Each structure stands twice: as structure tokens, then as C-alpha cells.
A and B are shown apart, each in its own frame.
Chain A
Amino acid sequence: MEKKEFHIIAETGIHARPATLLVQAASKFNSDITLTYKEKSVNLKSIMGVMSLGVGQNADVTINADGADETDALAAIADAMTKEGLAE
């Protein structure tokens, strides 16, 4: 299992457009991927789950990936995060 922490800088947090892109990035991989915020974890392949967390600006979140392609998955997600200006 691999994990990585992100500090959310986007003014509006993670919602619709960025959330959709994150979910799409995660869905390309076979690993189980979760997003954890305030001790609550959701499936990063579930748009409902991600949006239900209500992650706002300045939130610290953790992403866990578990599976054969976990390393690639985390890299792709980190890439999506920076490309969308979501996190640093």
C-alpha cells in the first residue's frame, strides 16, 4: 500500500469539475483507492463519496492506493491534483 498527503489550495476546494477529474483519474486503475479527510475515508472512484466529504480550501487530505498498480495510480492522481491547481 502506498499513500500520499495533499494540502488543498483551490479556493473552492474539491467539487464538481476537479472532483470529476480526480475520480476519472482514479477509475483508470485497478487498485483500491481511498480519499481520507477528517478521519473519514471514501472510495476515490465514487464521485458521490468524494463530493460528500465537502473538502474545502486549506484541507489536508490523504490518498491511499492498494493494488498492483498503486504507484502509477498515486502518480496519476498527484499529476491531476497539480494540473487542476487543486493541491501543492
Chain B
Amino acid sequence: MSEMLKGIAASDGIATAKAYMLVQPDLSFSESSVEDTEAETKRLDDAVEAAKADLKIIKEKAATNLGAEEAEVFEAHLTILSDPELLGNIKDKIVNDKVNAEEALKEVTDGFIAMFEGMTDNAYMKERAGDIRDVTKRVLSHLLGVTLPNPALINEEVVIVAHDLTPSDTAQLDRNFVKGFITDIGGRTSHSAIMSRTLEIPAIVGSGNATTAIKEDQTVIIDGIEGEAIIEPSNQELKKYEDKASDFVKQKAEWKELKDAKTLTANGKQFILGANIGTPKDVVGATDNGAEAVGLFRSEFLYMDASEFPSEDDQFEAYKQAVEGMNGKQVVVRTMDIGGDKELPYLPLPEEMNPFLGYRAIRISLDKQDIFRTQLRALLRASNYGRLAIMFPMIATIKEFKDAKAIFEEEKAKFVKAGKPVSDDIEVGMMMEIPAAAMIADKLAKYSDFFSIGTNDLIQYTMAADRGNERVSYLYQPYNPSILRLIKNIIDASHAEGKWTGMCGEMAGDQIAVPILAGLGLDEFSMSATSILKTRSLMKKLDTEKMKKLAEKAVSECETTEEVISLVKEFTK
């Protein structure tokens, strides 16, 4: 009998493959005494060699998929496994105490972990305790004969089943083998969901119990359109989903024909559809899906994927690659948005009661100006290679914007003075994600070249509801008239000053929201690359005059989200 799991549809498409459980195996063991210490030492050596072989594969994959810098972590892991002191101590313990290799390994590595964790004055060294733990786990898994999964080790077609996927997990997914994934937790805007759309892998998140309901090697169908997974499907079900998959492929082919078309409404009004990207590599997916711009380059991924602050040169290369890849189309880079739920191991920040309301994004950049200036210099250099725009995240006040802009101007002036080339038409704008800024959008529009509405944060701050908290998730209401009014205020304010407004949140590609946003006069819609063609196809059916009326009604007459949704359905019938 097949079984169905329901979750949140995170990324379109249908996939059928065997399950690969990306979950921690049971690594428990008990201490025992050994007689043949020579054999036990040999067992340790074999496990260490097997762990090294794993790490070499993981390192190579990381180097190809993520870059040399990310691969260095695994180089460090390999160095730990070649450490004569560490291995010597473990072997001494086996021989002298006559204990099993598992116990000797644990005792010795525990000692090192405790030593590194004790270095409280050095956050970096404290982090290294994690490296030793990782390495120990891998050796231990080989001693115990269980598999320690790693996305890099997958070499056949699979559907990944995980509690959640971390950025480093998703970065190592090989699209040739990973056909889809399903997680226990997460929502449409969680990291794993966003990545699944970037990678164009069918995905379901927030299923609740995928890791317990699904067993290794079971056949699983992932329906990323409906957010449903079928475990051990019947032949009939397999056939049904085969048909559904081919229908989806057909529809995608229809959409593909719009790849090089302009985004025009039924009455001939033009809009710009952009892509949100995390790394320069995503530019390929953006252009393949007909992006007319990059409306959001999340530069924090450059920081999150590194083991220390990325240098000016490293950042320059990344920004240059992105603007060159877009071939004259605009690329809006958001400056470092760290804090909230995004941490950097090498930038220890004090624990806060409310990280989303705390020290993050532009607040850090204005405080730690050396980090900010390095980023701005890299951006200035990259501006010579294409059409670059910069925006600051989390601006709440006029002063913050002016201060950030002044630093930008200072760095730019230094370039000019030194006779170094720099583009003269870099637009400098800001994210609109704090209600306070939205309320004074008319004032901010005098200074900012453009606005980009970040809906996930704007909704969370307007509703005072943590978007990661499932108990208040009902308050994530993008169509609520309160949100629509703020959006209208922002768009109108920018137009009054001859500026433009884009949107780079999830809402920009939402099929219910698009008609309203078109009616409100939003200029640029930036979304996951895979939503672009679907949205371009929807735009073709819309008449902006009619959508203006829809937007007016939604903003001034509707009282609830539900009313807005039925209004949109009525207008787009």
C-alpha cells in the first residue's frame, strides 16, 4: 500500500526516485576491552583511511560546486586525520588501556574538543571544535559500519529525505543525481525552499515527518506542484504521475517560448521581470529562464559560504562574473544582510533576545565600516563590467540611508582621485522592508534612486509575527490590505519623484499577488528564476486598466486577505 505525505509545495515539478536518507545515523557504541590490540589498531587505520577517502570525494565536489575556498574546510579535515599526535594518542590508548578503537577515538578527540572549546577568548578556535567533531563522526561511522550520508557521496538518481537542508548541503547537491527532495521542517521562504527553486529541483518542505515515514531505498514520488509525496506508489499511481510530469514538461515548454519575449500585458504595458540570485553561478539559471534583470543578488552568501571575510578581490570576481553574465542587464546587489537568522562563524555577535529586531544588515555595515567599505570597493570595481546597482538592506531612517550613501560616495571619490575607472551611473537604492521606512517613502524617495520591497521581512515586521514561528504562521498574509496599503504608499512615493520600485520578495512571483502589483504600478518583479516564465505568461493575460481597478478595490474596500483573494479571482477570470 502506498502512503501519502503532505507538505508545502516549494518547487514545481514531479520526480520519482529511490529515497536517500540525509539523516544522522545512530553512532552509539559501548566500551569494551580488546586482547588483540594490533588488530584493533589496524581497524582504526582502516576506518581513518575510509574516512579520508570520503573526505577527498567531498572536497573535490565542493571545489567544483562551491569553489576552492569552501573546499579548504575539507582540506583542514583531511589534515586532522593525518595528524601524527592525534592518531598516535589514539593508538597509544588502544595499546595501553586495551580498549576498543571507538572508545579510544572518543576519549582522545573529546580531550581536544574540550581544549578548543575552552579557548573562549578566540571564537575562531572555538569553532574548530566542530571540525574535530565532524571528523570523529566520520571515522566512527566507518568503525561501526554505518553510512554517514553526505550529498557529495550520492552517485545514483535519488530523492533526498532530510529534516532540513543546510546551505552547505544544498550547495553540494548534484543535479544529475538529485531528482527532488522533501524535508520535515521549513516554509516556502526557508533557505531550502528558495534553493530548490534556484536549482529547479521539485521539492516539498515542512512535511512534518518525512524522515520517519520514509525509509532508505523506498521509491518516492515528489509532487512539488501540489506539495504531496507518495511513498511506495502503486503501478497505477506511477502512471498517473508520469502523465502529470509530462503535462508539466509540456507547459514548461510553452513557457520557454516566452524566454526571449518582452513582458507585455494584454493592453501592451511593459514590466521588467528579474531573478533573485545567491551566487554568480545562478546567473545561468536566470538567463535560461528569461530574466530581464537581477533584482536581488544576495551578497551575504559570499560571506556565509566562506571561512573568513571574503577579500575585496574575491568579492570583485563574484560581482564581475554576475554583471558580465547578465550582459548589460541590470544587476542589483544587496549589501551584506547578516544577522537575524543568518550568522557568520567568524563574526561572533552577542546573543540577542530578538535577533530579527537586532544588530543586523546595514546596522552592522554602518558600525563595522571596514567590512562595508571592502564590499563597496569590490562593487565599484565590478561596476566597470556591466550595469550594476547597489541597495542597502534594513534601512529604517533617512539618516541611515544618507550615512550609507555618504560612505559609498567617499569610496567612489577615492577611485576617481586615484584615476581608477568606475562607472558613473551606478544606481544606489534601498530595501523597503521596515514599516517605518515605508511610511516615509515620500521623503526617502528624494535620496534613494529606487526602492526594492522585501516582502518577507515587511510582512513579518508589519504583522509583528516571526516568520519562522509556526504557531503564528497564519499572520503571514501577503494579500492583507494592510500590506497592500504599505506597498501602494512605497510605489506612489517613488513615482512622485520619478524613481522606480521593484519587489524582490516571494510575493513578486505569486500568481495571486501579481495582478494587484501590476495594478499598483510596480515596475520590476524579481523572483526565483523558475517563476519568471510562468509570470510572463500570466502578464500576457492581464489588462493593466482593469488591474488598476482591482488594486484600488483591494486597497480601499477589502477588509481581509480572503476578500482580496476572491476579488483577484473574480477580476482574472
A binding-site residues for B, Cβ under 8 Å: 12, 15-17, 20, 23-24, 27, 42-43, 45-49, 51-52, 54, 56
Given the interface contacts A20-B76, A47-B76, A52-B115, does A15 sit within 8 Å of B83 by beta carbon? Answer: no
Query: Is the CB of B307 closer than 8 A to any CB of chain A?
Result: yes
Q: Is the CB–CB distance between B83 and A47 below 8 Å?
A: yes
**Which among A20, A23, A42 has the greatest number of chain B C-beta atoms within 10 A?**
A20
Q: Is the CB–CB distance between B83 and A46 below 8 Å?
A: yes
Interface of B is mostly: helix
The interface size bin for chain B is: 20 to 34
Given the interface contacts A16-B76, A24-B79, does A51 sit within 8 Å of B128 by beta carbon? Answer: yes
Cα A54 to Cα B122 in complex, Å, equals 8
What are 14 A-B contacts defined by CB distance under 8 Å? A15-B124, A15-B125, A16-B128, A17-B307, A20-B76, A20-B79, A23-B79, A43-B84, A47-B76, A49-B85, A51-B116, A51-B128, A52-B112, A52-B115
Given the interface contacts A20-B76, A24-B79, does A43 sit within 8 Å of B128 by beta carbon? Answer: no
- 8 Å CB contact of B75 from A20, A42, A46: A20
Q: Is the CB–CB distance between A47 and B125 below 8 Å?
A: no
Cα A46 to Cα B84 in complex, Å, equals 6
User: In residues 86-133 of chain B, which contact A (Cβ within 8 Å)?
Assistant: 86, 112, 115-116, 119, 122, 124-125, 128, 132
Q: Residues of B contacting A23 with CB < 8 Å?
A: 79, 83
Q: Is the CB–CB distance between B115 and A27 below 8 Å?
A: no
Q: Residues of B contacting A52 with CB < 8 Å?
A: 112, 115-116
Q: Residues of A contacting B82 with CB < 8 Å?
A: 27
Cα A52 to Cα B122 in complex, Å, equals 11
Give chain B nearest CB distance to A68 CB in angstroms.
18
Cα A32 to Cα B307 in complex, Å, equals 30
B binding-site residues for A, Cβ under 8 Å: 72, 75-76, 79-80, 82-86, 112, 115-116, 119, 122, 124-125, 128, 132, 307-308
Q: Is the CB–CB distance between B72 and A47 below 8 Å?
A: no
Cα A51 to Cα B80 in complex, Å, equals 11
Q: Is the CB–CB distance between A46 and B72 below 8 Å?
A: no
**Which among A43, A47, A52 has the greatest number of chain B C-beta atoms within 10 A?**
A47
Q: Residues of B contacting A49 with CB < 8 Å?
A: 83, 85
The 8 closest A-B pairs by CB, nearest first: A46-B85, A47-B79, A46-B83, A20-B79, A20-B76, A47-B83, A49-B85, A48-B83
Given the interface contacts A16-B76, A20-B76, does A54 sit within 8 Å of B119 by beta carbon? Answer: yes
Cα A27 to Cα B86 in complex, Å, equals 14
Q: Residues of A contacting B308 with CB < 8 Å?
A: 12, 17
Given the interface contacts A24-B79, A48-B112, does A16 sit within 8 Å of B84 by beta carbon? Answer: no
Q: Is the CB–CB distance between A54 and B75 below 8 Å?
A: no
- 8 Å CB contact of B72 from A15, A20, A45, A51: A20
